[in-house]
Amino acid sequence: MSQETTTRTTAGPERPREVGDPFRYGVYLRPDPATCLAVTTVTGQLRAQYGFLSAGAFPPHATLVGSQHVGRDEAALEAALDAVLRDRPGFDVHNAGVRPLGIGYVYDVHHHADGSVNTDLLDLARAVDAAVEPLRVPMDNPKENVFDPATFNAHLSLASHDLYERPDLAAEVGAFVAELPVPFSRVFRGDTVTLYRTASEDWTGRWWRTLRWEHLRTWRLG
């Protein structure tokens, strides 16, 4: 069943429309239910305490490819993903806990417990990107989220774009998140891939304030 969530604010000035607007597509690895609960608990507390919206605007996920411009040919997108996910095995994912990443804070799921890169997860992102590549439509708003194995870093966002607006809160938010008594799975099975359609009134600016999303499809890896 499709589910939609919405966060709204007053619309900004009219922006040029891109091909396929207002939609962008994301392909995500969904964590286990216990970790999903942990993510929504943390992001909910950050909204309650600081008014932060961006990480909580999405369902809990580790991005494989995000903000994809594929026009509106959803059937072709699903077929392409079918081809690479149908017989793909699942794998274990280690959650190293809260870590800083960029301006924000995340659950780090990019590495094994010994600190080595989870190559199964990296290879899954690589395969998904290759499936989506022939369908991409060039756009400027926002810039293409192109997969790069050298910079790919799998994570579950807890605090993100709001800190561009409030960098003065970065240390305080990090300490707040670290002290939240929220349990999560240290290891979960990476076997659930999801496709979402997203839309925003302004992809060029604070898109997370008007983000809407709808679940389109789930694949279970064998």
Q: Give pLDDT tens digits for 179-212.
A: 999 999 999 999 999 999 999 888 878 888 999 9
pLDDT band (50, 70, 90) for residue 60: very high
**What is the distance between the alpha carbons of residues 150 and 93, in angstroms, rounded to a whole number?**
19
**What is the distance between the alpha carbons of residues 132 and 16, in angstroms, rounded to a whole number?**
25
Structure tokens at 60: 């809990």
- Structural domain that includes position 146: 33-220
Instruction: Provide the pLDDT for residue 4.
Output: 36
pLDDT band (50, 70, 90) for residue 158: very high
For tokens 């922006």, the residue is 15
Instruction: Provide the pLDDT for residue 191.
Output: 97
Is residue 92 scored above 90 in pLDDT?
yes
Question: Domain with 62 in it: what CATH number?
Answer: 3.90.1140.10
Instruction: Provide the pLDDT for residue 98.
Output: 96
Least confident range from 27-31, 79-83, 121-125, 145-149: namely: 145-149
Eight-class DSSP state of 60: S
User: Is residue 69 domain-resident?
Assistant: yes
**What is the distance between the alpha carbons of residues 80 and 10, in angstroms, rounded to a whole number?**
37
**Which residue did the predictor score with more confidence, 208 or 49?**
49
> What is the average per-residue pLDDT within 214-219?
95
User: Is residue 8 domain-resident?
Assistant: no
**What is the distance between the alpha carbons of residues 108 and 98, in angstroms, rounded to a whole number?**
6
Question: How large a percentage of the chain has pLDDT more than 70?
Answer: 87
pLDDT band (50, 70, 90) for residue 139: confident
User: Is residue 113 domain-resident?
Assistant: yes
Question: How large a percentage of the chain has pLDDT more than 90?
Answer: 72
What type of residue is 75? A
Instruction: Provide the pLDDT for residue 142.
Output: 61
User: Is residue 19 domain-resident?
Assistant: no
For tokens 């979960």, the residue is 188
Tally of structural domains, the chain:
1
User: Is residue 153 domain-resident?
Assistant: yes
**Which residue did the predictor score with more confidence, 49 or 150?**
49
pLDDT band (50, 70, 90) for residue 10: very low
Q: pTM here?
A: 0.86
User: Is residue 164 domain-resident?
Assistant: yes
> What is the average per-residue pLDDT within 118-136?
94
